[in-house]
């Protein structure tokens, strides 16, 4: 059996810069496969954790029994730590929290919006470490006050539901200033060289999603993976908001017919709002139902024209299909290379 960088972890530089993230995550390489609905199934989560990284099951709006089955199946496949990603705006959110309280998980990630302090406390009472997304220093500070053990800082370059600020700015606003808890960064990252420089800036680790979609262990349809390999960075675009009465969280995906259909859906919902035929809450639910259904069409059925091709701008850096272990090994090797190059420049 060949030894890889993730197996040996024999670099003094990697040891130093991985230490905090590995301790928090229970990994040998502090890189997180972000939760992706329909993609982050037990097979992918287990493959990432067995290779030394960290991964999360995407709760989305899954029925409680399905989510419970996914957790149990992941535990059958690996004894390594993994997380469950809870969407705070999902209709099943409260039921998911109750399930989490019963499952004795090592890590829970709150996403979508911001949890209330009491909800964080409930999860922490089970012994789980809590991670929260934050896009400003004030939000990050509030999450820490609520009890978050770590923050995930995600730039708009990421795929799926995203904010409006680039990672470059967020690093300056949050990473450089928040020192009380580990900060993991995400958004547009797909190479070890970039990971090295983020670690040098103070990140405890890096979350990536797009780079894992083309893993051999990923359940995504072959059409979906091949579309990622063909795509350029500029093909991953963010959806606009047409009317302030219908606030929608921007979604970044590859441009196709589904993106056009989403624009048409927004226009029709705005008209329904004008006529008083629907409420703002119901309209927002229809928006989310559109994305969940369209995403399944692409990921599972392979309809890359009418399905949602959620992708980060790092898609332009994805070039082939290979095993998760090879993806993580190359990230580790290139991280070490980047750290050594930085050291040489500083010491020359």
Residues, the chain, total? 348
298-314 tens-digit pLDDT: 999 999 999 999 999 99
Distance in angstroms (rounded) separating the CA atoms of residues 40 and 33: 8
Buried b (16+ CB within 10 A) or exposed e, 220-230: bbebbbebbee
Q: Which of 76-80, 187-191, 209-213, 286-290 has the lowest mean pLDDT?
A: 286-290
> Would you give the distance in Å from CA 261 to the centre of its chain?
25
pLDDT at 4: 52
pLDDT tens, 212-252? 999 999 999 999 999 999 999 999 999 888 888 887 788 89
Check residues 117 and 53 and name the one with the higher pLDDT: 53
Residue 164 burial (10 A CB sphere; 0-12, 13-18, 19+): exposed
* CATH architecture of the domain with residue range 5-220+314-343: Alpha-Beta Barrel (3.20)
Domain spans, the chain:
5-220+314-343, 232-299
For the segment 101-110, what is each residue's pLDDT rounded down to a tens digit? 999 999 999 9
Examine the pLDDT at 24 and tell me if it is beyond 90.
yes
Q: Which of 251, 258, 237, 219 is nearest to 316 (CA)?
A: 237
Q: List pLDDT tens digits, range 67-106.
A: 999 999 999 999 999 999 999 988 899 999 999 999 999 9
Query: Measured between alpha carbons, how far is 237 from 239 in angstroms, rounded to an integer?
Result: 7
């Amino acid at each position: 059996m060949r030894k890889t960088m993730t197996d040996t972890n024999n670099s003094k530089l990697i040891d130093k810069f991985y230490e905090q993230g590995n301790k928090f995550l229970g990994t040998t390489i502090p890189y997180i496969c972000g939760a992706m609905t329909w993609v982050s199934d037990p097979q992918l989560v287990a493959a990432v954790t067995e290779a030394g990284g960290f991964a999360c099951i995407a709760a989305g709006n899954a029925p409680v029994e399905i989510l419970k089955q996914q957790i149990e199946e992941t535990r059958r496949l690996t004894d390594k730590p993994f997380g469950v990603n809870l969407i705070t705006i999902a209709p099943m959110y409260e039921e998911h929290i109750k399930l989490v309280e019963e499952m004795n998980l090592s890590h829970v990630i709150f996403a979508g919006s911001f949890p209330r302090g009491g909800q964080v406390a409930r999860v922490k009472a089970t012994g789980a470490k809590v991670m929260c997304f934050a896009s400003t220093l004030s939000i990050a500070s509030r999450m820490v006050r609520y009890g978050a053990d770590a923050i995930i800082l995600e730039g708009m370059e990421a795929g799926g539901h995203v904010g409006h600020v680039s990672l470059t700015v967020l690093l300056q606003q949050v990473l450089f200033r928040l020192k009380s808890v580990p900060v993991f960064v995400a958004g547009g990252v797909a190479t070890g060289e970039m990971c090295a420089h983020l670690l040098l800036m103070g990140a405890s680790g890096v979350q990536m999603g797009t780079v894992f979609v083309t893993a051999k262990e990923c359940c995504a349809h072959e059409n979906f993976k091949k579309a990622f390999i063909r795509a350029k960075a500029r093909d991953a675009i963010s959806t606009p908001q047409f009317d302030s009465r219908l606030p929608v969280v921007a979604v970044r995906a590859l441009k196709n017919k589904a993106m056009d259909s989403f624009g048409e859906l927004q226009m029709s919902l705005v008209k329904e709002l004008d006529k008083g035929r629907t409420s703002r809450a119901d309209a927002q639910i229809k928006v989310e139902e559109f994305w969940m259904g369209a995403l399944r069409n692409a990921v599972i059925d392979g309809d890359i024209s009418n399905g949602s091709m959620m992708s980060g701008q790092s898609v332009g850096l994805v070039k082939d299909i290979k095993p998760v272990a090879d993806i993580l090994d190359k990230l580790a090797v290139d991280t070490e290379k980047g750290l050594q190059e930085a050291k040489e420049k500083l010491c020359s």
